[in-house]
Chain A
Amino acid sequence: MPADETSSRAWHEIVRDTLKAHDVRLVTYVPDNVLRPLIEAIHADPFFTAFTATREEEAVGIVSGAWMGGMRGIVLMQTSGFATLPNVLASLPVPFQIPVLMMVSERGTLGEFNIGQAMVARTMRPALDSLGMEHHTLTRLDEVEFIVDRSIRQAVATQQPVCWILSPLLTGGKVFAK
């Protein structure tokens, strides 16, 4: 896709469109402020079945079940929510070979104001690496479509989960509320 066409869309519009292009219909999430425009764009489009889960691991269970039933899905969450997931990732999508898609809004870096967020964020990439999971940090608008498109293809073809981390470099992140 030409650069000018890509750059006319915001990151969340590119993600929404790329999910649709790959028939990813089910979206379960625990809300986050940075994810809000993506969540709103998804709810505004009847193509998607979208709803909140009470915990991130519950959402991974729902999307895993849906995949086995023939429906593709994604889990949206924040960094602190990802930190609750290593057990379910190690016991469900990774060993059962289920391509759960995950998108994490990155807190804890580049201007974080909550020490707990900063500390838990440091566990995310080591956890992904130690589980041998494919993950990519999205920092540039002109790379979003290529990375999301290619890694959905890879997840499905190799039957393995994938995680995208939305950097504040892409989204602006969350700044201190006065």
Chain B
Amino acid sequence: MSATMSNANHPLTRDQAKVMSRFDLISRMVRKLHKDEAVIGGIGYTNFDLWAAGRRPQNFYMLGSMGLAAPIALGVAIAQPDRRVIGLEGDGSILMQLGSLATIATRAQKNLVIIILDNGAYQITGGQATATRAGTDIVAMSRGAGIAQSFWAAEEGHFEELIDRAIAEDGPWLIGCRIDTAGPKETTERDPAQIRDRFMRGLGVKK
């Protein structure tokens, strides 16, 4: 366990976290999923790189409804308490739905993990600055909302340690990752009925 992990009372700030690659982090996360964990991909490049990191029937790819990756993940987690559920969201998106962090904290949803990929930009619309670029700290806000296990990933190895813990130990968890502004590797196929049907079969809800 790294020094940053053992010092939960003095977590990293956004400034101290390394700027990493979105596709690399999502790929590292996907490689750690061995128990059919569900992943909800928020809109934009977050979703595109989740798609590019390898299609899984337990992945749900949103098409619109900006900000709802965490609420959708919470709903799946309530319905399937024995499955670990991950909501993958961007900084601009979570800033639209900060109240959802309070709801998740209030529910104390043990099987839920929220990962925030923060590049300080509304990148898909031209890279306009989000509030995080000026210093708004999503991990600090998450802790303030009541999600005690909210951490910045210091670097790639620390991110993997946090993922290991978050899929094994009781949550809710929120993992903040600073990422660069590289473009996505692929674009998600836009077929909502098929995405939903595959996801429900991936979760064992439909046979």
Contact = CB atoms under 8 A, between A and B. Distances in A.
A95 interface: yes
Contact of A87 (B64, B76, B78, B192): B64
Interface residues of A, number: 32
A62 B117 CA distance: 21
Contacts of A54: 99-100, 102-103
Contacts, number: 120
A76 to B, nearest CB: 15
Contacts of B149: none
B106 A62 contact: no
Interface in B171-207: 192-193, 195-196, 199-200, 203-205
Kindly name the residue among B75, B196, B199, B203 whose own CB sees the greatest number of chain A CB atoms within 10 A: B75
A69 B78 contact: yes
Contact of B79 (A66, A90, A91): A66
Contacts of A53: 71, 99-100, 103
A22 interface: no
Given A91-B64, A96-B195, A65 B79 contact: yes
B16 interface: no
Task: Classify chain B: how many residues form its interface, as a range.
Answer: 35 or more
B114 interface: no
Given A54-B99, A62-B71, A98-B196, A70 B78 contact: no
B63 interface: yes
A69 B97 contact: no
Nearest to A92: B65
Contacts of B152: none
24 contacts: A26-B75, A53-B99, A54-B102, A54-B103, A57-B65, A60-B68, A60-B71, A61-B75, A62-B71, A65-B40, A65-B74, A65-B75, A65-B76, A65-B77, A65-B79, A67-B75, A68-B79, A68-B200, A68-B203, A69-B38, A90-B64, A92-B68, A95-B193, A96-B196
Interface of B: 38, 40, 60, 62-65, 67-68, 70-80, 83, 97, 99-100, 102-103, 106-107, 192-193, 195-196, 199-200, 203-205
Given A61-B68, A61-B74, A68-B72, 14 more contacts: A57-B68, A58-B68, A65-B74, A68-B60, A68-B196, A69-B75, A69-B83, A69-B205, A71-B79, A87-B65, A91-B63, A92-B65, A97-B196, A98-B196
Q: Which 5 A-B pairs have the closest CB atoms?
A: A65-B75, A54-B99, A91-B64, A69-B79, A61-B71
